[in-house]
């Protein structure tokens, strides 16, 4: 997935979060959104599925959802949301 390629800020390069990083973001979504509200141009997390970089198998990847602790998989051809991260 190339949505995070070429995205940088403060000398750091963006990447797709791993599933574990995504779960940490999801589990702390209120605090994350509070912090994002202080950044000009940043958008809040919404209660939708987001891609992770963690593969489930050759055709599916794990994704995360900020509202619950489900561990859904999604086919790599699906159009889920992307949330790039810089450092965790």
Name the 3-class secondary structure at 32.
helix
The values of phi and psi at residue 36, to 5°, are -65, -30
State yes or no: pLDDT of 13 exceeds 60.
Answer: yes
* pLDDT one-digit tens code per residue, 21-58: 988 888 888 999 999 999 888 889 888 888 899 999 99
34 alpha carbon, distance to own chain's centre? 16
State yes or no: pLDDT of 87 exceeds 80.
Answer: no
* pLDDT one-digit tens code per residue, 66-75: 776 666 788 8
């Amino acid at each position: 997935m190339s949505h995070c390629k070429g995205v940088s800020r403060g000398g750091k390069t963006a990447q797709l979060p791993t599933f574990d990083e995504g779960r940490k973001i999801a589990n702390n979504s209120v605090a994350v959104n509070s912090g994002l509200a202080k950044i000009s141009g940043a958008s809040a997390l919404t209660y939708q599925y987001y891609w992770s970089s963690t593969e489930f198998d050759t055709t599916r990847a794990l994704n995360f959802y900020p509202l619950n602790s489900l561990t859904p998989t999604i086919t790599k051809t699906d159009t889920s949301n992307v949330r790039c991260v810089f450092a965790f």
